[in-house]
């Protein structure tokens, strides 16, 4: 009698042990799948949200003074950019200083804009229209020929004109390799001439 009870108890223990092991295995598998799915989605988001690999902050390094609000689905950051630029336009100590814009890519010859942050351009254009006394200079930095950097800066200036900014508020210049860090990132920057 004692041995039948032991056998039943041992069998029951094995069944419970096996069931617990299966449950843990399924939970681990589901958790692993979720982590892999999140990792894939984050990678896709990073690749989609940031057009310039040079501007992405990695491993605790900051992306400098780049005014970058990463685009998100169904989110409009135009107002945020407008407020940022309007805030800069109120500080007289900013005259003569510059700040980098985000996410500009150009065609193979480097003169035509392929991708840019539309929200940032719209916000900057609106801030300039709201502050007609402000004058800025669009500067292009690149390791390319100086003529290409001039053309890039001019392309950005033309975009602002298309958005209704007055021609007397904006001029442009190619800075080439003058600032090595900015040239390495092919950055477009704004210099505040008059506030």
Q: Where exactly are the structural domains of the chain?
A: 2-49, 56-194
Mean pLDDT across the chain? 76
Assess whether pLDDT exceeds 60 at residue 75: yes
What pLDDT does residue 62 have? Answer: 46
Q: Give mean pLDDT, residues 96-108.
A: 87
Q: Higher confidence at residue 18 or residue 133?
A: 133
What pLDDT does residue 191 have? Answer: 94
What pLDDT does residue 45 have? Answer: 41
- Report the b/e string of 55-72 with b at 16+ CB within 10 A: bbeeeeeebeebbbbbbe
Most confident of 23-32, 50-59, 100-109, 120-129: 120-129
Nearest to 190 by CA among 95, 82, 56: 95
Assess whether pLDDT exceeds 90 at residue 144: no
- Give the pLDDT confidence of 34-57 residue by residue, as tens digits: 555 655 554 444 443 333 444 444
Q: Give mean pLDDT, residues 95-112.
A: 85
- Give the pLDDT confidence of 154-189 residue by residue, as tens digits: 999 999 999 999 999 999 999 999 989 888 888 999
Q: Are 152 and 101 in contact (CB under 8 A)?
A: no
Q: Is the CATH code 3.30.1330.60 the one for domain 56-194?
A: yes
Helix (H, G, I), strand (E, B) or coil at 19: helix
Percent above pLDDT 90 for the chain: 37
Q: Give mean pLDDT, residues 2-29.
A: 58
Whole-model pTM: value is 0.61
């Amino acid at each position: 009698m004692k041995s039948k009870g032991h056998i039943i108890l041992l069998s029951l223990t094995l069944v419970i042990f096996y069931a617990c092991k299966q449950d843990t295995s399924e939970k681990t598998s589901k958790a692993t799948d979720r982590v892999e799915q999140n990792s894939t989605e984050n990678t896709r988001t990073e690749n989609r949200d940031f057009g310039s690999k040079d501007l992405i902050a990695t491993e605790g390094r900051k992306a400098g003074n780049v005014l970058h609000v990463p685009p998100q689905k169904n989110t409009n950051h135009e107002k945020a950019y407008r407020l940022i630029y309007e805030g800069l336009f109120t500080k007289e100590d900013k005259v003569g200083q510059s700040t980098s814009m985000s996410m500009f890519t150009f065609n193979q010859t480097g003169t035509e804009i392929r991708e840019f942050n539309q929200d940032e351009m719209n916000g900057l254009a609106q801030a300039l229209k709201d502050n007609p006394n402000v004058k800025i200079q669009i500067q292009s930095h690149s390791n390319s020929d100086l003529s290409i950097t001039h053309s890039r800066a001019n392309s950005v200036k033309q975009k602002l004109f298309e958005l209704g900014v007055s021609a007397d508020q904006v001029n442009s210049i190619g800075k080439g390799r003058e600032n090595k860090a900015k040239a390495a990132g092919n950055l477009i920057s704004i210099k505040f001439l008059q506030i």
